[in-house]
Structure 1
Amino acid sequence: MQTGFDLVLYAKASLGECPLWSVAEQALYFVDIKRCCIHRFDPQTGGLTTLELSEEVGCIGLVAGGGFVAGLRSGIWLIDADGKPVRKLAANPEDQAISRFNDGMVDPMGRFIAGTVDESREKGIAGLYRYDRNGLTQLADGLLTSNGVAFSPDGRRLYHADTLRYTLYTYDYAPETGTASSRQVFARFGSETDRGRPDGGAVDVDGCYWTALFEGGRVQRYSPDGTLLAEYPVPVKCPTMVSFGGADMRTLYCTSASVGRSEAELEAFPLSGGLFAMRTDVAGLRKPLFNPEA
């Protein structure tokens, strides 16, 4: 296993996020939130194709039958394989002047779990939501930046971070009903000398949680009991999210950001905005497909 991440695509992303492996296509999708687009990366050829959207896209899931479910500023949408909107599933219930959908993923039963970000960075208006055939239901409120959504291998633990509060939580999750309860602190981050905080995450087949530390320049792996097992450097200051892929699901991809970074930082970390990858000894979990009728 490697000891760190290597560049696989100089994507020049403003705010790269939500890497998502398509098993059917053997390709990686990821978004650039600020540039309002979904990218498709073919690791065999190195080719990149881009779908342009009309608004910021924070997270995506693959839909059974093709296309995407996506969390945009205005709400949760179905989008076809060409990036065209099909229909709005649910409106963003918050003040869209300072709120947009951010991190999210499909749950084990095909529902979409997605959170928002409070762009004021102080009001705590952000939340975590579940979308299913009954509509949008709030699972958590009072957040600053909802991130890090991932599920344990049995689907009965939900991981979720509030990035600006430097905290990663777990919930008891009922896949049968999509309810989350008994929130507990899983890990806390940050210190006077380390501003690294939990952004997007993924879970491997051993049930360990991997998190990208924004402004921390590294990815960490935690055991299910919250023990820090290892950390791996990324050649940027702001990695944003990790996701497993590859034919054997043992390639860990990591997106990154360049937006809002100082000239000095971008000079020191010229690969900011790139897509990175690292081979791992353990496989990751395949992401479920979204089912609008779940």
Structure 2
Amino acid sequence: MSAAAELVWDLGAELAEGPAWDAVRGALWFVDIKGRGLHRYTPATGDTASWDTPDQIGFALPAEDGSLVCGVRGGLHRFEPDTGVFTLIQPVEQDRPQNRLNDGFVAPDGSLWFGSMDDSEVVKTGALYRWADGELTRHDDGYGVTNGPCLSPDGRTLYHHDTLARTILAFDHDDGALSNRRVFAVTDDGYADGPSMDSAGVLHVGLFNGWGVAQFSPEGERIGKIDMPVQTVTKAAFGGEDLRDLYMTTAWLGNADKRGEQPTLGGLYRLRVKTPGLPQNLIRL
């Protein structure tokens, strides 16, 4: 592992989140939730591109047909990069107007998992959903701030966070069904934010106000930490041709008064790592 993470885009996002590697385009997608922006970084050229979003956006994940499925407040939207058009394809939580969508993940079967949360981060109205074959299913409920989920390399364990509780949960996973909900780990040096999994089964967890990325073994043991020069890391995700480039999104939300001493809060970082991540799956539409 290299000594320090490299700042690759100093965009000053208020709440950057959800990095996802697009192998077809050789690019990284991520969002700025509060800034209502969708962003794309192409490492081969250094090119950047940005689009305004219809509302707060929690994730943007590649689909099989080249579009993206985006978790925008109020529903899932299909985004066409060539036109910049967002189209609502699945309303979500019309009965919970105080909520917005947060983090998301694509399973190997092409299903989309994602969470919701109270936008004020006060009431525990967040839930965990799966969207597959046009059907939306609520699998868990009662979260303060959802983050994740992600799956173990064998697909048998699903991890999902309640960030307000600093708690990483684990579930047994079998063909889209969840059981045996349990506490996997608790972070005491920051709030457990977005998770990603490497090919060895090590869970990488962004630490909001924790100055880095925590690493956990499959048994839930804290085995390491990637230190960062800014205190608010929202998620780390693997990219690059060999999936050994770890991209980390950051934010200045809640730390606007720290921007003088941490001027790159809200930037996109990259770190070369030894163990590759898992491929980014594509949503089946």
**Range of TM-score over shorter length:** over 0.9
Tell me, in whole angstroms, the C-alpha distance in 2 between the residues paired with 1:9 and 1:171.
Answer: 35
**2:24 corresponds to:** 24
| C-alpha distance in structure 1 between counterparts of 2:216 and 2:18, whole Å | 20
Cα deviation 1:71-125 (Å, max 9, x = unaligned): 11111122222331233223224422x2100001111211110101112333211
Percent of residue pairs bearing the same amino acid type = 35
Q: Which residue of 2 aligns with 1:149?
A: 149
- Cα shift at 1:208: 0.8
- Counterpart Cα distance in 2 of 1:38 and 1:126: 23
Q: Which runs of 5+ in 1 are unaligned?
A: none
Q: Confirm or deny: 8 A CA contact 1:90 1:136 kept in the other structure.
A: no
In structure 1, what residue type is equivalent to 2:239? G
After superposing on structure 2, the runs of 4+ consecutive aligned residues of structure 1 that deviate more than 3 Å are: none
How many residues matched? Answer: 284
Are the counterparts in 2 of residues 36 and 57 from structure 1 also a CA contact under 8 Å? yes
- The residue type paired with residue 268 of structure 2 is L
- Specify the alignment match of 2:222 in structure 1: 228
For 1:289 and 1:262, locate their aligned partners in 2 and report how far apart those are by CA, in whole Å.
35
Match of 2:264 among 271, 289, 293: 271
Distance, in Å, in 2 between the alignment partners of 1:153 and 1:117 is: 27
Moved more, 50-59 or 197-206: 50-59
Tell me the distance in 2 between the aligned counterparts of 1:153 and 1:223.
12
Please, what TM-score do these two structures have when normalized by structure 2? 0.96
1:260 is displaced (CA, Å) by: 3.0
Look up the match of 2:213: 219
Q: What's the TM-score once normalised by structure 1's chain length?
A: 0.93
Aligned to 1:164, the other structure's residue is in SS state helix
Displacement of 1:134: 4.8
1:248 aligns to what SS in structure 2? coil
The within-5 A match list for 1:234-273 is 234-263=228-257, 265-273=258-266
Match of residue 179 from structure 2: 181
Deviates more, 1:103-112 or 1:131-140: 131-140
Is structure 2 residue 7 aligned with structure 1 residue 13?
A: no
Q: Supply the distance in 1 between the matched residues of 2:110 and 2:77 (Cα, whole angstroms).
A: 15
Q: Cα gap change, 1:181/1:3 in structure 2, threshold over 3 Å: closer, same or farther?
A: farther
- CA–CA distance in structure 1, aligned partners of residues 41 and 256 of structure 2: 28
Q: Does 1:84 align with 2:85?
A: yes
Distance in 2, matches of 1:124 and 1:83, equals: 34
Q: How does 1:75-114 map to 2 (within 5 A)?
A: 75-81=75-81, 82-96=83-97, 98-114=98-114
What is the 5 A alignment of 1:111-190? 111-175=111-175, 178-190=176-188
CA contact (8 A) 1:79 1:87 kept: no
Pair 16,185 (structure 1): closer, same or farther in 2 beyond 3 Å: same
Amino acid at match of 1:87: L
8 Å contact from structure 1 (residues 148, 211) kept in 2: no
